[in-house]
Structure 1
Amino acid sequence: MQHVSKFEMAIGRIDAENAEDPNVETVNGVTFPKELLYARRMTEKLLDFYPEASGELQIAARAQHICRWKIDRKQYPMDRVGYLKWREALKKFHAEKTSEILKDLGFEDTFAERVSFLIRKKQLKKDEETQILEDVVCLVFLQYYFDDFAAKHPEEKIIDIVQKTWAKMSESGQQAALELKLSPEASGLVKKALQT
């Protein structure tokens, strides 16, 4: 029988949780649970952007949105303060959920704590792995979700969001973003945002 490592078991457990997502996304005629697809895109982008990623960073990337649908945006006021509270609640929830899985599988506390630290984006711009994770989040957003998002909002809001996203990224993250094959519309918006 093939030996399955604890790391592979953790990835499997995270994927099993995300496979429960009632929201779906269809790619090339194949339908996926939305957060399972997001998690796989995060792993793929992380290993492309930073192939030497530690186990902790890989698990944090995979679990970035674990069971995200369980905390609805509508549970918080539909303003900037409500949005920020929702984001904080999500980070805490994702970190705790992942930590439970890791402890259940017998990972050391220090490993689980590091994964939680990364998921909660602690010390952005100061901690190298937190920064790499943020870069990957931004790259996945730009590559896979930006077009749909941009279609639903006024241009000035999109430009503001691109500028804020850009400010969170490292130089190497920004460089990787400029190399993405974006749609002409998305490329145009990014160019406008960076020129403004």
Structure 2
Amino acid sequence: MADRLSRALALIDAANVADPKGEALVYGQRMSEELARLVPAASEVLQVAARGQHVERWLLPRSDYPEGKVGYLDWRREQGRRHGLRVAAIMAEAGFPDSDCERVGILLRKEGIKRDPEVQALEDVICFVFLKWYFSPFAAERDAEQTLDIVRKTARKMSAEGRARVLKEFDLPEPLAGAFRGE
């Protein structure tokens, strides 16, 4: 069992080493670290989904899609579809059964967010990784209103437990903290 998990994670890392910006490997490792911390009893499929959440993301640049919300959402949907297929192929190569390969696609496409506990756990981990490592530089490039809008969107995607944990673990200024309280 553990051998197939280790193999799948190593194959994802090997794919992400090719990232020209060198970000994908670190991102995947951060996802795995946060998952282990937040969801210590995560299934193997969830562990693989977390590590592969942005596998080879650079192969489909955001610039290939139109500016604006519609273009962004189309790009994100296509990324989720591609990640699901790529990680499923990696899992098959590592020896996972077809049912697990199908399941990872559901997680990576975020089908059933707010209804499927594993999809929601993955989304919470994604949000924690964003807040912990990427939020500050992201916010530095935006005005206060844009930043607050993104924080509200992030909070809405999270579970109640995830939002409560954010409030305990991060020292957020008002009104950003209010977004996690539902204000």
Same fold? TM cut 0.5: yes
Amino acid at match of 2:46: L
Picking from 8, 12, 31, the partner of 2:6 is 8
Q: Which structure 2 residue ranges, 5 or more long, are not aligned?
A: none
**Which residue number corresponds to residue 176 of structure 2?**
190
- Give percent identity, aligned residues only: 41
> Is 1:17 aligned to residue 6 of structure 2?
no
Shift of 1:104: 2.0
Q: What count of residue pairs does the alignment treat as equivalent?
A: 182
Paired residue for 2:152, among 163, 167, 188? Answer: 163
1:81-100 superposed matches below 5 A? 81-100=70-89
CA contact (8 A) 1:135 1:173 kept: yes
Cα distance 1:110–1:4, how it changes in 2: closer, same or farther (>3 A)?
closer
Q: Aligned in 2, Cα 1:151/1:189: closer, same or farther, shift over 3 Å?
A: farther
- Which runs of structure 1 show a deviation greater than 3 angstroms over 4 or more consecutive aligned residues? 186-189, 192-196
Give structure 1 stretches of 5+ with no counterpart.
24-32
Out of 94, 97, 101, the position equivalent to 1:112 is 101
SS in 1 for 2:100: helix
Cα deviation, residue 105, structure 1: 2.4
* Residues 165, 83 of structure 1: alpha-carbon distance in 2 compared, 3 angstrom cutoff: same
Structure 1 residue 191: deviation in Å? 2.7
**Counterpart amino acid of residue 136 in structure 1:** V
1:24-173 map, 5 Å:
33-173=22-162
Q: C-alpha distance in 1, partners of 2:163/2:179? A: 13
SS at match of 2:169: coil
Aligned-residue CA RMSD (Å): 1.8
TM-score between the two structures when normalised by the length of structure 2: 0.93
Native 8 Å contact 1:160 1:193 kept in 2: no
Q: Residue 179 of structure 1 aligns to a residue in which SS?
A: helix
